[in-house]
Structure 1
Amino acid sequence: MDFSVKPTLTGDRTVLRPFTEADAQVMGEIIEDPEVIRFTGDPSHELTPERLRSWYGSRSDQPDRLDLAVTDRANGELVGEVVLYEWDPQARSCTFRTIIGPKGRDRGLGTEATRLIVGHGFDQLGLHRIELEAYGHNHRALRVYEKVGFVVEGVRREAESRDGEWVDSVVMALLDREWAALSRR
């Protein structure tokens, strides 16, 4: 599997493209959005401008994962990211995650971006399985994943304490044959 080729994937509403250092400031603002923090957690370390520039500037050099910027096709604005990572060669599987900031929400951009990268994972990279975990209270994300075709495999009950409350973690996955059946429809 070669993740070193970072494609540009174009949909009706979004363009997924490789990250550059120039994306660091906007991604920093997105990561620090209160709703993003609520559903992904606080960053594990301080997000200095230097650290963000180093991270997003190095995404295109990673041979074992695919990080793409989600942009609004209408105006080119960066609204989030989609990532395939934790490549397991024996299982031909990856883990998926996404962050969509405030300017990208409730317009179908996250759903289309998810479809684009999942389709790339199955159709171009030859993945067998893509899995994810999402908080049980992240209803928007769970709806997106179900629309794209992900199936709930289990719930890790009260897996984490968030803001003084125990929250579930929902484990979902999509298999290549399920994607192929959905794509034929």
Structure 2
Amino acid sequence: MSFSSFSVKPVLTGRKTVLRPFTEADADVMWEIIEDPEVVRFTYEPSIELTPERLRSWYGSRAAAPDRLDLAVTDPATGEVVGEVVLNEYDPDARSCTFRTLIGPRGRGRGIGTEAAGLIVAHGFEELGLHRIELGAYAHNRRALHVYEKVGFVVEGVRREVRRRDGEWADEVIMSILDREWAALSSTVR
């Protein structure tokens, strides 16, 4: 299967969540999510100062970005945006990319993050023809690491003391999943 460009922005539907392309109107709720103390604690600091205006511009431009796939994680019962999933940093020679996710307070503890991660990973392998998807997460972000393991990501290693978080040095766990591992996993649940 050959790679299809990230410029196609799908709607991916599960039982607990619907992933859809972002619009500029999603910026206000994403501002609230990004400002959540738990999100701040477990994510990297942005390289630019975020403002509501910058977020409106960013999320308003995601549907036209050909080099990455940013999808809003929504609650299907209400349509409310509760987070995001992203595939980016595509390497065409390796047919690989990176994955990241961010789930706000109203989406936690309900299995939405696990399903959202599984939906985007399935899309990456089954529709985009990726060979490998990797991620990095702080070692103290136990909830996220557990979700990634449930989806099938395997720990490759640890980058020790990569950044100071909450006054202490934090390790970054590097994880990945390969197309054949996803195929084996998804064949057992279908």
TM-score range, shorter-chain basis?
over 0.9
Q: Which of 169, 173, 180 is the equivalent residue of 2:172?
A: 169
The answer for the alignment partner of 1:131 in structure 2 is: 134
- What 5-or-longer segments of structure 1 have no aligned partner? none
- What 5-or-longer segments of structure 2 have no aligned partner? none
Using the aligned pairs only, state the percent identity.
Answer: 77
When normalised by structure 1's length, the TM-score is: 0.98
The answer for the alignment partner of 2:111 in structure 1 is: 108
Q: Which of 49, 53, 71 is the equivalent residue of 2:52?
A: 49
The answer for the alignment partner of 1:179 in structure 2 is: 182
Q: Tell me, yes or no, if structure 1 residue 84 matches structure 2 residue 87.
A: yes
Residue 74 (structure 1) shift: 1.6
Which secondary structure does the structure 2 equivalent of 1:75 belong to? coil
1-side partners of 2:159 and 2:118: how far apart?
Answer: 25
The answer for the alignment partner of 1:73 in structure 2 is: 76
Which secondary structure does the structure 2 equivalent of 1:103 belong to? helix
Q: Tell me, yes or no, if structure 1 residue 21 matches structure 2 residue 41.
A: no
When normalised by structure 2's length, the TM-score is: 0.95
The answer for the alignment partner of 2:37 in structure 1 is: 34
- 1:85-120 Cα deviation digits (max 9, x unpaired): 000000000000000000000100000000000000
The answer for the alignment partner of 2:11 in structure 1 is: 8
Q: Which of 119, 123, 126 is the equivalent residue of 1:120?
A: 123
Letter of the structure 2 residue corresponding to residue 50 of structure 1: E
What is the number of residues matched between the two proteins?
185
Residue 75 (structure 1) shift: 1.3
